[in-house]
Amino acid sequence: MPILRADQDTIRTNAPNLHMCHEGLGMSEVTAMEPSAAAYAAEIDRKGYTVIEHYISPEQLELGRAFINQQAASHDHEYFAIHGIEALGGSLIAGLALSQPFKETLTELYRLQTGREPAVTEQIFPVIRCLQGRSGLKQSHFYHFDATAVTALLPLYIPTEGEHCGDLIIFPSVRRIRFNALRNVIEKAVLHNTASQKLVAFAVRRGWLKPIRLKLEPGNLYLFSGYRSLHANDECDPAMLRATALFHFGNPHHESLVARHLLGTNKRKAKLDHNGLKPVN
């Protein structure tokens, strides 16, 4: 199945709710020249990531930035993150997360990486992260594995001046997909603790470890295996804004009570269920 691009002709600039946002953001047909999901999966396996250039149009990028600007002002131009489709309702990001062709693409990548089908109820879990101000500095070099096999990153604002522009840092294929939830929990406990993260960050800064560093371009879509790859972002100048949308899909432990109880911190903080939705009271 080919990777499908966002269709600028069908997007609505004012989607007041999730239903209209879902209708408003479709995906266009793709020419025969478009690489297949298999080609992208092979590139992820080979070099740790792949890039779809100009995934969204300039008009869509400006629409996404307008949402970021509004949110940045309401957070006093300090760090913030927004988790889940409902919290992002009416935005470009929610529209992408609700796009069925986009989900089918991520589903195919999940199949190719794991050899299995994702959970029937699984949805794309979108997150917006905005690094700005002094609090944004605390969000750098936080090395981690994602809960999902497929991670798609869409930059909206990326600094272009100065030494620290929030580059994406990846150690690709550090581990394999684990279908044993307990083993996954143990691995994360070893590598997600403060001491381990500081040690990796120190080794990267000293040049002892040499990960992949990606200079992100707004409007491109970056695909990688967040589950297998240890990754983080570099520091971002506190006077600048770094805003990215992340789309997580394909949790190998979606049905595991162990993983749900011991992991999923971001969802718990946002008071979301394991599908990334607000629980029904």
Contact 152, 246 (CB under 8 A): yes
Closest to 136 in 3D by CA, of 235, 27, 246: 235
Mean of all residue pLDDT scores within the chain:
81
Q: Which helix (H) or strand (E) is 223 found in, with range?
A: strand 221-224
pLDDT of residue 133 exceeding 50, the answer is yes
Q: Is the pLDDT of residue 160 over 50?
A: yes
Instruction: Check whether 4 has a pLDDT greater than 60.
Output: no
Mean pLDDT, to the nearest integer, of 33-59?
90
pLDDT given for residue 111 in this prediction: 95
Distances (CA, A) of 34 to 3, 25, 66, 155: 7, 20, 30, 21
Q: Are 92 and 60 in contact (CB under 8 A)?
A: yes
Name the region of 256 (left: φ>0; alpha: ψ -120 to 50; beta: rest). Answer: beta
CA atoms within 13 A on the CB side of 144: 17
DSSP state of 279: P
* Predicted confidence band of residue 32 (pLDDT cuts 50, 70, 90): very low
> 200-237: per-residue pLDDT in tens?
999 999 999 999 999 999 999 999 999 999 999 998 88
What confidence score (pLDDT) does residue 5 get? 58
